[in-house]
Amino acid sequence: MSEGSGRKAPYIIPIGPTHPALKEPVMFTFEMEGEMIKEVDFAPGQAHRGIEWMGMRRNPVQIVHLTDRICGICGVSHTFAFARAVEQIAEIEVPERADYIRALIAEFERIQSHLLWAGVAAHELGFDSLLHLTWRVREQSMDVIENLTGNRVNYGIIQVGGVRRDIVPEQHQVIEDCLNAYEGVISKLLELFLDDRSIALRCRDVGVLSHREALELCTVGPTARASGVNVDLRQDYPYSAYGDLDVRTILPDQYAGETRGDVYDRIVVRLLEVGQSCGIIRQCLDAMPAGEVTAEPKIAKLLAICKKASGEAIGRVEAPRGECFHYVRMEAQEAPHSWKVKASSYSNLMSWIPMLRGEQIADIPIIVASIDPCLSCTDRVAVIRGQRRDILSKEELHRLSVEATRRLQV
Amino acid sequence: MKLTKSFNRSLWAFHFNSGSCNGCEIEIVATITPRYDPERFGIKLVGTPRHADVLVITGPVVKKMKDRLLRVYAQMPEPKVVMCVGTCGISGGVFYDSYNLEGPVDEVIPVDVYVPGCPPRPEAIIHGVVKALEKLERIQGGGR
């Protein structure tokens, strides 16, 4: 339908919040012209549970179980970032062995998360046999995670001051077997995803995010790296054990020889990172020193230390989706005075708009999935008074923000 | 009491996320992938509630999703069974004191099968589906 000829052009397609192509609730509004997307808008916020508000009423030992449940896929990253913030405030020295175990678990999380994403991407392309293959491969890492932490999801392994379980020598063999299996299968996966003609046709030059847009929209993680932005917290701002480990940013031109910033490049980056994580886990196993795994095994003592602490700190961690950022302020009370979470998907969501503009309806699922959105991580702020939902203008938001900063300065 | 033939090897489920943390979602998807493979019994996820026999709900029902949950429930044809997966849908779980919850799920719509766990293992989810099937058989037999 050309513009002006019919009264319905351009027409609107709403998708969501409950839709089979979306695993999580988010509402899209597409302004279409024929098959082409003219304009796109989205409204997240359907998974907001008020976690920060609840956290400000609990003590840090209780909060680590809440941070696990900010997101079921990158559970360890949020807990990791929160624990690092609290440890800086309370001046708790984390034992070196605990640092290595944290890094090791975080890398296993990256492996399972990227394989999960690869499967979902294959499903969105209509390639279900590849979904089933990648998820079968993923189960091996889930087995190791369960062996190490006791849980498949929401590991509950990180505690303020260290980790709650040690890795015993028998478990080294389990990890080793899993890594060997992955290193054998990764070339197969690369071949299946990257040499497949239909995947290349669907993903090459689709959902392009230029290097400039990636920088301007402050994207993080694999989404930024696929557009050629050289950012990786593990390399740029090494935390925990990563200072001792050799981590180099993975960029798509290392595989394909060029960076186009399309969906294909995002597949390249994530699959190569699975191999990289295997290497990092090996380094962790080799370099892991003996010793304690927690600075303070007695919870009551740990709580007493946290209760005396005052100050503010940030914890930054490279989650599978990018930088995960926790700001904590404690004022010698049981619960933190303020706590702010900025999940990686929060930085990445806005990149949907340039990616989707000018594309076709059929490409919506794969482009939306290509940034690996995690809305349960992102949905942090909703203003609800009574039954009325307020929409805040930019000026009002700015005023509230200034007021909040003033409160913190007091 | 036996189910009508149409249920034989074809129990279709619709998954509804009411504001969950994704933990249950990935375990539900893990359930339908090759290690557990309930599709050999005809159990599979479908894209619309109008095709579904079982409504699988995850999450503690946040304010924005309550109306959507009611609408999805109303769209399902009878006989239908509701399965609540995950502790936060059963009791609020770790989110019990949040200001943004309308849940637990059974305060919004009637629930037939509860699968506790945060998140439940795939085996537990399959067990829940089997219980849902038994419940469907009872409904067909006339008892609720």
Q: Is the pLDDT score of B14 beyond 50?
A: yes
Residue B43 distance to chain A (closest CA, Å): 15
Tell me what the pLDDT averaged over chain B comes to: 86
CB contact under 8 Å between A72 and B17, yes or no, is: no
Q: Is B133 helix (H, G, I), strand (E, B) or coil?
A: helix
In order of their start, the domains of chain B are 5-140 (3.40.50.12280)
Which chain A residue shows the shortest CA-CA distance from B92? A49
Residue A137 distance to chain B (closest CA, Å): 10
What is d(CA B75, CA B61) in angstroms, rounded to the nearest whole number?
A: 18
Which of B64, B118, B121 has the highest number of chain A CBs within 10 A, making it the mutation to test binding with A?
B64
Given this model, what pLDDT does residue A2 score?
47
Q: What is the ipTM of this complex?
A: 0.89
Residue-wise pLDDT for A18-41, tens only, equals 777 677 788 888 888 888 888 888
CB contact under 8 Å between B19 and A49, yes or no, is: yes
Residue-wise pLDDT for A195-246, tens only, equals 988 888 888 888 899 999 999 988 999 999 999 999 999 999 998 889 889 8
**Which of B82, B9, B27 lies closest to B52, judged by CA?**
B82
Which of A22, A46, A48, A49 has the highest number of chain B CBs within 10 A, making it the mutation to test binding with B?
A49
% of chain B at pLDDT higher than 90: 33
Residue B104, preceding bond cis, omega within 30 degrees? yes
Residue A146 distance to chain B (closest CA, Å): 11
What does pTM read for this prediction?
0.89
What is the torsional sign of CA A66, A68, A70, A76?
positive
Give A-chain residues touching B68 at CB under 8 angstroms: 17-18, 25
Nearest to B33 among A49, A70, A132 (CB): A132
Given this model, what pLDDT does residue A400 score?
77
Least confident of A66-75, A279-288, B52-61: A66-75
Q: Is the pLDDT score of A313 beyond 50?
A: yes
Residue-wise pLDDT for A37-84, tens only, equals 888 888 877 788 888 888 888 999 999 999 988 888 888 999 999 999
Nearest to B17 among A25, A71, A138 (CB): A25
CB contact under 8 Å between B121 and A23, yes or no, is: no
Residue-wise pLDDT for A86-143, tens only, equals 999 999 999 999 999 999 999 999 999 999 999 988 988 888 899 999 999 999 999 9
CB A105 within 8 A of CB A76: yes
In order of their start, the domains of chain A are 51-378 (1.10.645.10)
CB contact under 8 Å between B68 and A17, yes or no, is: yes
Band (A1; pLDDT cuts 50, 70, 90): very low
Given this model, what pLDDT does residue B111 score?
93
